[in-house]
């Protein structure tokens, strides 16, 4: 009996120890006294259990009566002894004044120090900005200016070393939205999850701005791909072997280089789209890290509404599917049933259509019927080889944060399906843009090349807002391209010129052709 009791005790101890193996989780605290005879400023850090063994939700408390502030922040594991501190310290509550942008001074890392009582010390990435240093000092009630000055000194200059008080993980209802940002407006450094069907995806990383000795650390599922390495305009390439489910790619800014802030960025290309994760985005400026979520799921069949109509028409005419369907229609069906959403094809990428020597008059009539069903003239059949993009709603902060410059008043079309042709008419310098239609994603991180690339989209009746957003400035600023819109017999070419402060917007009005009235012709004489 005694041996069984000892076994139970040992097993309980093992469970307790395993629950405490994560050295970061728990409550950490310190007190800073500006003057020996006055009350101190108390700072607490509450760290919750991690997601993916890498992302830690946390809460910061700053208490200096009568001031009290509570902030939510995300921490990201950089290595065994460091956590990156997220840029956004979201204020849950602050009274009787606000610290505002001064919380940016805590950007940097937390370093674990093994002592009798473990400590976390803050290593700041110093932001040398007098405008930031003076911001808000005399706003609100000036009677708090001296108290603000002491709090600012602690956040920006004084040593911060937090001692561990307990191992109790921070728990709060907000943790879910911090770790799963999809559909939430508050950005903690984690980009929305994207679905990826490929098992291997290419990742490229480079400096998006001047080459000023920026260094970065890049982790993939916790494993380092780069460790405090310089990045250049040519960058580096990796092939990521994705695990099933969510894969985490974390980019850390080790410094701000000679020209702050850090301007590193990486791109991921997949069959579902091209995605860019960039420190030069306004929400990431002076950030310590940013996180991409690549959700690898089994490949799904994507149905094209146009092909569905074609197939339906074929069945109704009594022809076997795939038998006497014209070669062009067959090729379109093959492309759409085996390709995931958001496939963009350039003219050279499209496979040439095979000659069908067995086509007869009946198949020609069928081809004409299919063209009529699509509301297209037969001479435009080549356009139908470009697969329509499957749009999805997206909350692109850049549309709200940047000025949307109207290219012209409006462009009226009578076709619901239009073709966008995009190319660089100057030097191909690495420009990349994103296109949004009525708040939906058309393409993201789309490279602008010398050769024309085609994208087919469907308009809604009435006004449609087509917005072009610069992902970068390329090697030669600004981001430039030529956009040509093909809508039936109409052609419209526009020059796009975007930058990190201005988007381009075009208003396209779709007005369907009026139905025929059915009036009878009058014969000449009665």
Distance CA 306, CA 314 (A): 13
Determine the pLDDT at residue 107.
94
Determine the pLDDT at residue 10.
55
Distance CA 40, CA 30 (A): 10
Residue 29's closest CA among 175, 174, 170, 176? 170
Determine the pLDDT at residue 167.
95
Query: Could you list the pLDDT tens digit for every one of the 526 residues in the chain?
Result: 555 555 555 555 544 444 457 999 999 999 999 888 778 999 999 999 999 999 999 999 999 999 999 999 999 999 999 999 999 999 999 999 999 889 999 999 999 999 999 999 999 998 877 778 888 787 766 788 889 999 999 999 999 999 999 999 999 999 999 999 887 788 999 999 999 988 999 999 988 666 678 899 999 999 999 999 988 777 899 999 999 999 999 999 999 887 888 889 999 988 888 888 988 888 888 999 999 999 998 764 444 444 333 333 333 334 333 333 333 222 222 232 222 222 333 333 333 333 343 344 444 444 444 444 333 333 333 333 344 555 677 888 898 888 888 887 688 898 888 989 898 877 777 888 999 999 888 888 888 888 888 888 888 888 899 999 998 888 777 888 888 898 887 888 888 889 988 999 999 999 988 765 444 433 334 3
For the CA atoms of 358, 362, 365, 370, the dihedral, rounded to the nearest 10 degrees, stands at -70
* Structural element, H or E, at residue 110: strand 108-113
Q: At what angle do helices 305-316 and 361-373 cross, to 10 degrees?
A: 140
Q: At what angle do helices 361-373 and 327-337 cross, to 10 degrees?
A: 50
Q: How far is CA 253 from CA 227, 261, 413, in A?
A: 11, 9, 47
Structure token pair of residue 349: 């990428």
Q: Comparing 191-296 with 397-510, is the CATH topology the same?
A: yes
Determine the pLDDT at residue 521.
38
Structure token pair of residue 403: 């000025």
Determine the pLDDT at residue 389.
54
Which architecture does CATH list for 397-510?
Answer: Sandwich (2.60)
Within a 10 A sphere around the Cβ of 406, how many other Cβ atoms?
Answer: 11
DSSP 248: E
Residue 121's closest CA among 129, 111, 131, 130? 111
Determine the pLDDT at residue 404.
87
**Topology, domain 191-296:** Immunoglobulin-like (2.60.40)
Per the CB < 8 A criterion, the answer to whether 472 and 444 are in contact is: no
Domain boundaries defined on the chain: 26-176, 191-296, 397-510
- Backbone dihedral angles phi then psi of residue 151, each to the nearest 5 degrees: -65, -40
């Amino acid at each position: 009996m005694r041996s069984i009791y000892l076994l139970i005790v040992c097993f309980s101890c093992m469970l307790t120890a395993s629950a405490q193996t994560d050295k970061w989780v728990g409550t950490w605290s310190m007190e800073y006294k500006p003057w020996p005879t006055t009350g101190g400023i108390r700072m607490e850090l509450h760290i919750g259990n991690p997601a993916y063994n890498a992302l830690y939700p946390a809460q910061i408390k700053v208490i200096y009566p009568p001031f009290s502030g509570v902030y939510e922040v995300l921490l990201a594991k950089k290595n065994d002894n460091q956590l990156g501190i997220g840029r956004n310290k979201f204020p849950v509550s602050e009274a009787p004044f606000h610290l505002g942008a001064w919380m940016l001074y805590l950007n940097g890392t937390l370093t674990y120090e093994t002592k009798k009582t473990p400590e976390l010390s803050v290593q700041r990435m110093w932001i040398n900005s007098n405008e930031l240093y003076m911001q808000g000092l005399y706003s609100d009630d000036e009677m708090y200016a001296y108290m603000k000055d002491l709090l600012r000194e602690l956040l920006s200059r004084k040593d911060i070393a937090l001692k561990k008080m307990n191992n109790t993980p921070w728990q709060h209802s907000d943790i879910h939205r911090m770790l799963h940002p999809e559909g939430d407006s508050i950005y903690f450094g984690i980009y929305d999850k994207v679905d990826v069907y490929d098992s291997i995806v290419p990742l490229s990383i480079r400096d998006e701005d001047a080459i000023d000795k920026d260094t970065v650390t890049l982790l993939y599922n916790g494993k380092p791909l780069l460790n405090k390495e310089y990045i250049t305009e040519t960058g580096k390439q990796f092939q990521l072997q994705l695990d099933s489910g969510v894969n985490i790619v974390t980019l850390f800014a080790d410094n701000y280089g000679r020209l702050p802030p850090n301007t590193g960025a990486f791109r991921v290309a997949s069959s579902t789209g091209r995605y860019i994760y960039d420190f030069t985005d306004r929400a990431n400026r002076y950030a310590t890290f940013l996180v991409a979520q690549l959700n690898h799921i089994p490949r799904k069949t994507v149905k094209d509404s146009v092909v569905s109509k074609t197939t339906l028409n074929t069945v109704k005419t009594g022809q076997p599917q795939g038998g006497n369907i014209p070669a062009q229609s067959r090729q379109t069906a093959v492309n759409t049933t085996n390709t995931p959403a958001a496939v963009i094809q350039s003219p050279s990428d499209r496979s040439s259509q095979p000659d069908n020597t067995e086509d007869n008059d009946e198949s020609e009539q069928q081809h004409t019927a299919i063209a009529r069903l699509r509301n297209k003239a037969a001479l435009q059949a080549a356009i139908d080889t470009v697969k329509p993009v499957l749009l999805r709603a997206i909350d692109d902060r850049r549309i709200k944060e940047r000025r949307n410059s109207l290219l012209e008043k409006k462009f009226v079309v009578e076709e619901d399906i239009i073709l966008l042709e995009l190319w660089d008419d100057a030097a191909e310098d690495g420009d990349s843009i994103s296109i949004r239609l009525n708040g939906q994603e058309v393409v993201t991180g789309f490279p602008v090349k010398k050769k024309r690339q085609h994208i087919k989209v469907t308009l809604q009746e009435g006004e449609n807002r087509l917005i072009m957003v610069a992902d970068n400035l390329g090697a030669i600023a600004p981001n430039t391209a030529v956009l040509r819109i093909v809508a039936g017999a109409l052609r419209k070419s526009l020059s796009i010129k975007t930058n990190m402060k201005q988007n381009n917007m075009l208003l396209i009005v779709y007005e369907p052709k009026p139905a025929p009235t059915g009036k009878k012709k009058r014969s000449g004489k009665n």
